[in-house]
């Protein structure tokens, strides 16, 4: 399944940013791409640009209609839609619930709908856009950090459970990417992400390299591997370093 010619691909949250870049990169490689986004105009614009099929709507519920539009076959599902609310425990329940629904449960619902087809035919590819926050954390956003850890855990579970039955899973974990989400990240994004931010198309290329090499973890920012290692091998040192970043943000907010 590394040859994308005649492959059918669904990309959620594909109206811009990483999702649009994934859709475009698959289309350029000859795939038939279905473009999903909550914003119908953005989905239709990207689909028109790449010769794809637009399917506006909630990413959690599109698999049945996507299967119809793609003649009963989805080879690759890119669970890319995501939200990044700020705040901590004080954030309202509805903010936490929205983050769980989009960042985690949309992946679960898609897998629930896809797995019977993939297991029957012996193959399928699930790409979860997780973010480096799933391996590390994001200061200023507990809902984002917690749900991205859960998204990574679910992707790992899928791979552990189904890889011997032909289901290939990839966790896409970039740091800063020049998208609307980064522009909305505020001071924390400016401090942590903007200096090393990359373009969306670089994230798409990193995914295709990982697919070719058969790698689960996709790190468009290779340095994330070192940070993740430090987090596991020296948790107190890592937590202290991240707390220093938090304090720097708080000091900046007071000046």
Residue 144 is a catalytic residue: yes
CA distance 249 to 245: 6
- Interior angle at CA 32, CA 31 and CA 35, nearest 5: 115
Give, for 225, the enclosing helix (H) or strand (E).
helix 224-233
In 26-75, DSSP assigns E strands to 32-37, 53-56
Beta strands in the chain (DSSP E): 8-11, 32-37, 53-56, 76-79, 124-129, 167-172, 217-218
Coil, helix or strand for 42?
Answer: helix
Catalytic residue among 26, 144, 162, 227: 144
CA distance 137 to 150: 12
Nearest to 10 by CA among 40, 37, 29: 37
Q: What are the structure tokens assigned to 165, written together?
A: 């039955």
**Positive or negative: CA dihedral 226, 229, 230, 235:** positive
Active site residues: 144
């Amino acid at each position: 399944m590394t040859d994308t010619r005649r492959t059918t691909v669904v990309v959620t949250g594909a109206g811009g940013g990483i999702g649009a870049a994934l859709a475009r990169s698959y289309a350029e490689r000859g795939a038939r791409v279905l473009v999903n986004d909550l914003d119908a105009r953005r989905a239709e614009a990207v689909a028109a640009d790449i010769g794809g099929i637009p399917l506006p709507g909630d990413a959690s519920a599109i698999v049945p209609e996507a299967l119809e539009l793609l003649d009963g076959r989805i080879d690759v599902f890119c669970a890319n839609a995501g939200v990044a609310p700020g705040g901590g425990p004080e954030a309202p329940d509805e903010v936490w619930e929205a983050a769980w629904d989009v960042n985690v449960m949309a992946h679960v619902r898609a897998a629930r709908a896809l797995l019977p087809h993939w297991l029957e035919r012996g193959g399928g590819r699930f790409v979860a856009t997780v973010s480096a926050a799933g391996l590390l954390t994001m200061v200023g956003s507990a809902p984002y950090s917690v749900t991205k850890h859960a998204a990574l855990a679910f992707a790992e579970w899928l791979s552990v459970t189904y890889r011997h039955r032909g289901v290939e899973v990839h966790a896409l974990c970039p740091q800063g990417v020049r998208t609307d989400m980064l522009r909305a990240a505020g001071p924390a994004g400016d401090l942590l992400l903007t200096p090393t931010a990359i373009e969306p198309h670089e994230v798409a290329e990193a995914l295709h390299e990982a697919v070719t090499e058969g790698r689960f973890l996709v790190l468009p920012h290779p340095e994330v591997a070192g940070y993740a290692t430090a987090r596991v091998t020296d948790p107190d040192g890592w937590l202290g370093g991240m707390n220093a970043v938090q304090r720097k943000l708080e000091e900046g907010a007071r000046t």
